[in-house]
Amino acid sequence: MIEFSQELLRTIYDVEGIIQWGGTLLVCSIIFVETGLFVGFFLPGDSLLITAGVFAAAGYLDLITLLLAATVCAIAGDQLGYWIGRKAGQALYRRKDTFFFKQRYLESARQFYDAHGGKTIVFARFIPILRTFCPVVAGVAEMRYASFVTYNIVGGCAWVFSIVLGGFFLASLVPNIGEHIHWVIAVVIFLSFLPPIIAALRARSRRSGKPGAPPPAHSERVSSPQ
């Protein structure tokens, strides 16, 4: 079982192999699952998009088709996540942890949502795990649907276009970038996780500066920004 899990993870994170095998269709399917379903929180969205941009620059993928299809799937995925949260409601906060669902990820998304309101839907696009759970939290909070759709479209377009075009233009500027794609992916992953790391360090610093402060009360219901 352990060997199977290790082999599965190696396959999932072999983004070059994924693109070579499944092309734009598989890239878009993974983007939809990562943004719309809990099971997708560990999928390599950022590294997959930037590598797809590199492949588009080399002529293996059509850039326009990739941009439009991936954007539609990213937006549709968040829409699904929102409705899961809207329908499941507070029951999600009582759900037990499984391999495909972690309460700590939902709680991190809730805290991020409480801090940034509707803009979370845009910001979270660029942060792994949060982009899977934040639309769900917005649904649980019953965020106004028109506002969610607006933020969703802006965030989906910004995420897909910036990452894919980043890979495309990087490949155009740097000869033989494909031979060093693993370093590019490593940098993208590091930059993706940098914002939550900084936020966690700041929160820890604030807590250490107030040793006598009581812990914040946990609200049973997530408040909805207006």
* Low-confidence winner among 67-76, 126-135, 143-152, 182-191 (lowest mean pLDDT): 182-191
Q: Which residue type sits at 184?
A: V
At residue 225, the pLDDT reads 46
Tell me which residue of 141, 120, 144 sits closest to 132, measured CA to CA.
Answer: 120
3-state secondary structure of 177: helix
Q: What is the pLDDT of residues 126-169, one digit of tens each?
A: 988 888 989 998 998 889 999 999 999 999 999 999 999 998 99
**pLDDT higher than 60, residue 4:** no
pLDDT at 218: 45
pLDDT at 220 (0 to 100): 42
Tell me: pLDDT of 97 over 90: no
What count of residues does the chain have?
Answer: 226
Q: 224 pLDDT band (50/70/90 cuts)? A: very low
Encode 54-64: b = buried (16+ Cβ within 10 Å), e = exposed.
bbbbeeebebe
Cβ pair 73, 67 in contact under 8 A = no
Q: Which of 37-46, 171-180, 186-195 has the highest average model confidence (pLDDT)? A: 37-46
**98 forms bridges with which residues in the sheet?**
101
Going by C-beta distance under 8 Å and a sequence separation of 6 or more, which residues neighbour residue 141?
Answer: 85, 113, 222, 223, 224, 225
Find the mean pLDDT for residues 96-103.
Answer: 75
What's residue 108's pLDDT?
A: 83
For 183-207, b/e burial (b = at least 16 CB within 10 A) is ebbeebbeebeeebeeeeeeeeeee
Compute the distance between CA of residue 140 and CA of residue 90 in angstroms, rounded to an integer.
7
Q: Report yes or no: 41 and 108 within 8 Å, Cβ to Cβ.
A: no
Number of Cβ within a 10 Å radius of residue 26: 15
What was the pLDDT predicted at 11? 55
Q: Helix 130-140 crosses helix 63-88 at what angle (to 10 degrees)?
A: 40
